[in-house]
Chain A
């Protein structure tokens, strides 16, 4: 596609429910990132993939958070047993091979609200 596509754009979950957020990066982009952005804050790094390999997951806040990119394209961020503190916008970003990985193309984000 023309840009990074994320779905759903909005998700309301009851506390304790599991959620799955999808990211479809720009075609051919090998690097894929997930960031979490709370209201009024800058993005916080969650995890990084190069193709299908998850090279850095140091930002995942707990073992309830899990990300995968099995075929090196679409990625899914899964949050199990959601808590109110998980409410945030989850941003996916991609970049091309050889590009400085600070030059990212972001999707519009998935806004998660946990009640």
Chain B
């Protein structure tokens, strides 16, 4: 069964303290892995798509990487406004358009 596991469940950082979030997945024939950010009371906001092992994407203080079994979201010198829940989702093969989501990592960045 396709599955996405995110760790840690929660992470508290000091402003400027870099760290990484993990998303491990089991899916046959990965078509894409997606990172989203979700603020309280809001819908998820798209961040990145990764398609193949070795691929990397960057946006401001965030960098996403992908291997054959997991993805990392690296946060460099985070700021309080980076506080949110970060969700990972995968899309399986064929015409399957549904995404399989992890439970998310709740990130708090203290000033």
Which A positions have Cβ atoms within 8 angstroms of B?
4, 31, 33, 40-45, 48, 55-56, 58-59, 91, 93, 100-109
In this complex, how many residues of chain B approach chain A with their Cβ under 8 Å: the count is: 21
Distance A14 CA – B99 CA, assembled complex (angstroms): 31
Q: Considering residues A33, A41, A43, A48, which has the most beta carbons from chain B within 10 angstroms of its beta carbon?
A: A43
Q: Looking at the complex, which one of A4, A42, A91 makes contact with B89 (CB distance below 8 Å)?
A: A42
Instruction: Tell me which residues from 3 to 54 in chain B have a Cβ below 8 Å from any Cβ of chain A.
Output: 4, 31-32, 34, 41-46, 49
A-B contact count (CB 8 A): 59
Please tell me if B72 contacts chain A, counting CB pairs below 8 Å. Answer: no
Chain B residue with minimal CB distance to A91?
B43
Q: Chain A interface mostly helix, strand, loop or mixed? A: loop
Question: What is the interface of chain B, defined by CB distance below 8 A to chain A?
Answer: 4, 31-32, 34, 41-46, 49, 87, 89, 91, 97-99, 101-104
* Shortest distance between the CB of A45 and any CB in chain B (Å): 4
> Given A42-B4, A48-B97, 20 other A-B contacts at CB below 8 A?
A31-B97, A41-B103, A42-B101, A42-B102, A43-B89, A43-B101, A44-B101, A45-B98, A48-B98, A59-B98, A93-B43, A100-B32, A101-B91, A101-B97, A103-B34, A104-B46, A106-B45, A108-B42, A108-B43, A109-B42
Closest 7 CB pairs of A and B: A106-B43, A42-B101, A45-B98, A102-B34, A101-B97, A102-B91, A102-B32
Residue of A nearest to B98 (CB): A45
Q: Which residues of A contact B87 (CB under 8 A)?
A: 42-43
Question: What is the bound-complex CA distance between A101 and B41, given in angstroms?
Answer: 23
Whether B46 lies near A103 (C-beta < 8 A) is: yes
Alpha-carbon gap, A47 to B87, bound state (A): 20
A55, B97: Cβ atoms under 8 Å? yes
B23 to chain A, nearest CB (A): 11
Residues of chain A with a CB closer than 8 A to B44's CB = 43, 91, 104, 106
Contacts of B34 in A (CB 8 A): 102-103
